[in-house]
A and B are shown apart, each in its own frame.
Chain A
Amino acid sequence: MTARLRSPWTAVPCAVAVVAVLDLVEPFGVRLGHLTGGLLTADLAVRAGLFTIVLVGLNLLMGYAGQASLGQAAFYGMGAFASAILTVRAHVLGIPPEVVSAWWWPWVVMAAAACAVAGFAWVVGWVILRLRGHYLAMATLGLGIMVYIVLRENLGMPHLNLTGGFDGIVGVPRLRLGSAALWPVGVYLLVVWAAALACVALGENVVHSPAGRALRAIHGSEAAAESVGVDVGALKARIFALSAGLASVAGSLYAHFQAAVVPDTFGFVPSLELVVMSAVGGMRTVWGAPLGATVVLLLEQLLRTHLLGLVPAVSGELEPVVFGVLLILLMRFRPSGLVQAAPAP
């Protein structure tokens, strides 16, 4: 909590959310999206909320457990495809249509997928994390690429065409709560940000729990943490599982938002984008999550809509370059990110 109170930067995601809502409401018949040159849109705000959920887990993993994941988008993709497959293509798997069409079905799928993905990550982590060093970074890099290929190659079962291959799956239904649809986009925006802020609260709770204390201790001295009985490997594996589960939930929410999923959304570049967001917001804070997601998405949007227009000769390839330069400047002048970690109470 202290980090939020100390950093004026955290006003950014809040302001974006407010403006996005106003944009939808159209006060005085003016769309704020137009006033901001199309920079702020409900679409951007929803995506910032979704990434916030992923980043809460990623920050716990990278900032607190000290383990980099270069494949976090894979877990996001696993959640998204689980939701898409089990709602759109459930009949292929023999799930009765009256179950699939029930309002609660997508929520059950979301929860089950999160548990399964977390369990999968726990097993991977349990094997990898007992080795010291940067093994997790390498393993997740490989995992991310593998998951991407498996999704693209139809899980190796082309006759069932579960993932839709390159083209993915279209027609993922909107979420409902009883008979109320969580749509139009303004409603969904609120749902996503409520979930995102709940995840931030969960993350804050973890940081200030005994487990969070043990995590911070590991960061300071693994030898000393072990000397009081902290099982360093097991704790890291559990944080990895938690981060994967959160990414899966965000992926499910994404699938129901976009109504379509394609493997390309969950490849290597999105994984890197997540790491950049985490670094920008400050990975040693939970509140860095909403900030990193919002600032990076805004920057990308700005580059796309404004900067590229100024340099007509170059194509879209300039975007990652400008982005890389900004990241280097950030690391040079504010290496711990925009939100500075505050000592815990």
Chain B
Amino acid sequence: MDALLEVREVTKAFDGLVALSGVSLRVRPGQIKALIGPNGAGKTTLFHIIAASLAPTSGDVVFAGRSLVGLPAHRVARLGIARTFQNVQVFPGMTVLEHVLVGLHQQAPASLLSAALRTPALRRAERRLREEAWALVRRLDLEAWAEVPAEVVPFGLLRRVELARALATRPRLLLLDEPGSGLNPAEKQALASELRRARDEGVTVFLVEHDMSMVMELADEVEVLDQGQLIAEGPPAEVQRDPRVVAAYLGEEDGA
């Protein structure tokens, strides 16, 4: 099947430090794909490049047949790529519900004039947005926190708030950078079933994850990145046995 996302020969250098070199991979529509690798391997850098918040030094990223390189990040989001961040990015002072409403921004009326005058059309649109936001809040079990500002929400739930905000954009591809980190086992279970549900509804999922048991359980396919290069690719069970992968992780432990 055709790839939804294709990364072609992407290289990224930060003032001499090569974070990614010649990375090529494909994500097929409808799959859950995991990207693993030791600390500093370049996983987050690759996600930033896909989401166009970083430009690659060379190479190309193609999403649904069109190149994303050179587009501003908000345009890439509008093409159907949503993401969450390794260091949770919330909006202080805004409630959980408002986070989801910001996620619905693309469907919101844009005119400042109608906003200032609070026209009937704007109020109707706002009511519809709120209904949709509430539905997502309920779906992710965040009702109890809906009216609470983000800074008083427990960390584990903030990851879920980010997920809700990302899902609100109705993405075709969801990029999740370590969505399970900092979660307890029960929260990880809830996250896994939420991601499966999203996948079943047609969202393709590409995630970075350190927790191998979660990767084994969730992912259809795994890519392994080490020192900026892909070293293995395949079904989780196979990849886990791959000697190069074992070596990469052992090397990390030795170095630590």
Contact = CB atoms under 8 A, between A and B. Distances in A.
B198 interface: no
Contacts of A212: 115
Contact of B166 (A203, A228, A230): A228
A305 interface: no
Contact of B115 (A211, A220, A221, A230): A211
Given A227-B51, A229-B105, A205 B115 contact: yes
Q: How large is the interface on B (under 10, 10 to 19, 20 to 34, 35 or more residues)?
A: 35 or more
A210 B132 CA distance: 14
Interface string A202-214: 1101100111111
B118 interface: yes
Given A217-B102, A228-B106, A232-B74, A209 B115 contact: yes
A242 B78 CA distance: 25
A224 B89 contact: yes
Interface string A225-264: 1111111100000110010000000000000000000000
B245 interface: no
Contact of A228 (B85, B116, B122, B168): B168
A209 B115 CA distance: 6
A138 interface: no
A94 interface: no
A8 interface: no
B46 to A, nearest CB: 16
B73 A227 contact: yes
Contacts of B162: 224
Contacts of B149: 343
A228 B77 contact: yes
Given A205-B116, A343-B149, A229 B91 contact: no
Nearest to B102: A217
A343 B117 CA distance: 22
Contact of A210 (B73, B82, B90, B109): B109
Nearest to A233: B72
A344 interface: yes
14 contacts: A206-B112, A210-B108, A214-B105, A217-B94, A221-B90, A227-B77, A228-B169, A229-B77, A231-B72, A231-B74, A232-B74, A239-B112, A242-B116, A344-B95
Interface of A: 202-203, 205-206, 209-214, 216-217, 219-221, 223-232, 238-239, 242, 341, 343-344
